[in-house]
Structure 1
Amino acid sequence: MKKTSLLVFILISSLSIGQSSSDVSMIKEHLTKITKSKVYRNHTNIEQLNKIADYIKTEFSKYSDEVSFQEYSVENKKYKNVICSFGLEHKKRIVIGAHYDVCGNQEGADDNASGVVGLIELSRLLQGKKTNYRIDLVAYTLEEPPYFRTNKMGSFIHAKSLHDANIDVYGMISLEMIGYFSDVPNSQHYPVASLSSIYGNKGDYITLVNKSNKQKFARDFCSIFKSNKTIKTTIFDNPMSLESVELSDHLNYWKLGYDALMVTDTAFLRNKNYHRNSDKMETLDFDKMAKVIDGVLLTLLKI
């Protein structure tokens, strides 16, 4: 091989390695492990919740040396958040979270195994990468009823621990249902009907949801994510008067004054399987889900 050809080959190989992307086969494998069980991962099935927490920790541990459980008790029962960290040399951090519990007796593929798989894939893709901030990936427990909007939520426990320790947090991202898409007309609905004229009536995009008075982190994240063009993206700067924008773990970071946003396929406004037995992995779009994860990764590397 000529010297010039060798240099070109090395350069192309380096670029390819530096631009890792989500693996659809691994996404499917993780979804299968998390959802395909006869015992559902809800708050009453502690053993199953612990089994999933152990699985997440095992996967995180393949890519980071800094993995731990954050344990806490509710009604004399022990629950666990799972935390994985990268870029420990940095003091200021970014938190990316998703909940692994489900509402009632269902597989919960989109809600919210999709977000948890996003965390697992991000852990793989972040290994060895240079970041400008410490990155904490957190899989939460007890997001769903009966504990939603209470201080028993795993995300509240985590956010409060940061607040009490005076940790310097640049921002938080909640991955809340990132796997369901539809090109069918009128598949997308809105809390205010007139919004369809702005965002369209097809559920073929991912949404970044912020407060209307979003701060620097949310502004920068949204701008970079959309500029990556990995997937069709809308940005919804929403007044807090619309309850639907609060329905995930970012709510607890907002409560404690942190700059946070939600990455979502809009949940029940699009996915009619929401909180039903039909929320199965077979209904998800794995390719678009991978593109969402890639968009988050690229943004974390650029921000």
Structure 2
Amino acid sequence: MRLLLPLLLLTSQALAQPADTVRLRRHILALTSTPEPRNYLHEVSLNQAADYIKAELAAAGARPTEQPYEVEGRTYRNILGHFGPETGPRIIIGAHYDVYGEQPGADDNGSGVAALLELARLLGQQQGLPCRIDLVAYTLEEPPFFRTPHMGSYVHAEALRKAGVPVRGMVALETLGYFDDRKRTQSYPLGPLKWVYGTRGNYVTVAQKFGNGHFGRQFARCYKQAAILPVKRFKAPAWLPGIDFSDHLNYWHFGYPAVLLTDTAFYRNHHYHKPTDTLNRLDLYRLGLAVEALLATVLRL
């Protein structure tokens, strides 16, 4: 009980300033209402989303910066917001803001970006953060750039490694708003996993690869203790389909520990990468609970 007390106190502190579902809705609506889908072909829409994210980070009290880079003659931007001390090891929390194809991407990954922005607002209300926390909104996570050096998260992780920046760990926020309490709504890359994790799509999962180090274990343990909604801890070989399907894979590539926080995307949400991935299908209350647990965990790490 003595070990749990500090976490319980921090959880109470986080819940005293709960996530705002009205703000979460506003963020997702802003991202899904661009003139055209925010994919790599539509620079105007990508830039509109990036400008919105940067303004919201600044309003939350972050120190916003940009990380522009060129791909095939076009300029794309990561948007960053910094909290806490300027020096020392840092924690990276990121979510990509681009979409795949011609679809709104409310869950993928409007929900992750909305969670990032709401976390920023809550972090801005904290005093004396224990370490530097960098929030990063990535561009170009989706195909055709997935698993290439053109991913925004690759560009960011590579820059950290080249600069010798000490990183305690990274958390990727990927599709966090879709839940279904019915049986047989949750699938897995390996069928027998349903006997371990169940068939109801009503939880978030902390996914990481074997050998991910102390940060991954600590984050998963603290998050599960802090969360009100169900949390499944999932650790598997890096080759298992889905275990590296987001921006955290690039931090693994550069030797940083990283975890994925997700609603499991296409293993649950059949609207994934489709025009039907819309705001009205999301559970903003449970998305808010996921953000509150994230805040409590970050304050604990």
TM score, norm. by length of structure 2: 0.94
Q: Does 1:275 align with 2:257?
A: no
Judging changes above 3 Å, is the alpha-carbon distance between structure 1 residues 141 and 194 closer, same or farther for their aligned structure 2 residues? same
| C-alpha spacing 1:239/1:18, structure 2 compared with 1 (3 Å) | closer
CA RMSD, aligned part only? 1.3
Q: Pick from 222, 226, 229: which aligns with 1:228?
A: 226
Whole-angstrom CA distance in 1 between matches of 2:202 and 2:106: 18
Aligned match of 1:218:
216
Task: Using the TM superposition, give the Cα deviation of residue 244 of structure 1 relative to its aligned residue in structure 2, in angstroms.
Answer: 1.3
8 Å CA contact 2:38, 2:45 repeated in 1: yes
Q: 1:16 to 1:262 in 2, by over 3 A?
A: closer
Counterpart check, 1:92 vs 2:89: yes
Partner-residue secondary structure (3-state), 2:243: helix
Quick one: distance in 1 between partners of 2:291 and 2:227? 12
Larger mean CA deviation between 245-254 and 58-67 belongs to 58-67
- CA–CA separation in structure 2 for the residues paired with 1:49 and 1:92: 31
Cα drift, residue 85 of structure 1: 0.5
- Give the alignment partner of residue 52 of structure 1, picking from 49, 52, 75: 49
Partners of 2:13 and 2:271 in 1: how far apart? 37
Residue 180 of structure 1 pairs with residue 178 of structure 2: yes
Query: 2:190 pairs with 192, 203, 216, which one?
Result: 192
**Map of 2:112 onto structure 1:** 115
SS of 2:242's partner is helix
User: Is the aligned partner of 1:21 residue 2:22?
Assistant: no
- Separation in 2, partners of 1:106, 1:17: 34
Select which of 138, 141, 144 maps to 1:140.
Answer: 138
Task: Name structure 2 gaps, 5 residues minimum.
Answer: 1-11
User: Are the structure 2 counterparts of residues 253 and 17 from structure 1 closer, same or farther at C-alpha, using a change threshold of 3 Å?
Assistant: closer
1:209 and 2:207 equivalent? yes
- 8 Å contact kept, 1:131–1:300: no
Q: Which letter does structure 1 place at the counterpart of 2:131?
A: Y
| TM-score normalised by structure 1 residue count | 0.93
Structure 1 residues not aligned, in runs of 5+: 1-14
Deviation of 1:90 (Å): 4.3
1:186-205 CA-to-partner distances (Å, cap 9, x unmatched) read 00000000000000000000
- Mean Cα deviation higher: 42-51 or 222-231: 222-231
What residue number does 1:125 align with? 122
Q: Does residue 34 of structure 1 match 2:34? A: no
Tell me the matched-pair count. Answer: 289
Residues in 2 aligned to 1:230 and 1:157: alpha-carbon distance in whole angstroms: 35
Q: Using the TM superposition, name which of 161-170 and 123-132 deviates more.
A: 123-132
Deviation at 1:18, TM superposition (A): 7.8
Q: Contact 1:90–1:132 (CA<8 Å) still a contact in 2?
A: no
Instruction: For 1:273 and 1:189, locate their aligned partners in 2 and report how far apart those are by CA, in whole Å.
Output: 14
Alpha-carbon deviation of 1:36? Answer: 2.1
* Contact preservation (8 Å) 2:104, 2:275: yes
Residue identity over aligned pairs, in percent, reads 42
Q: What is the distance in 1 between the residues matched to 2:188 and 2:15?
A: 38
Shift of 1:134: 0.5
Q: Structure 1 residues 128 and 16, CA, compared in 2 at 3 Å: closer, same or farther?
A: closer
- Whichever of the two has the greater Rg, that structure is 1
Closer, same or farther in 2 for the Cα pair 1:160/1:208, shift >3 Å? same
Q: Are 2:179 and 1:160 equivalent residues in the alignment?
A: no
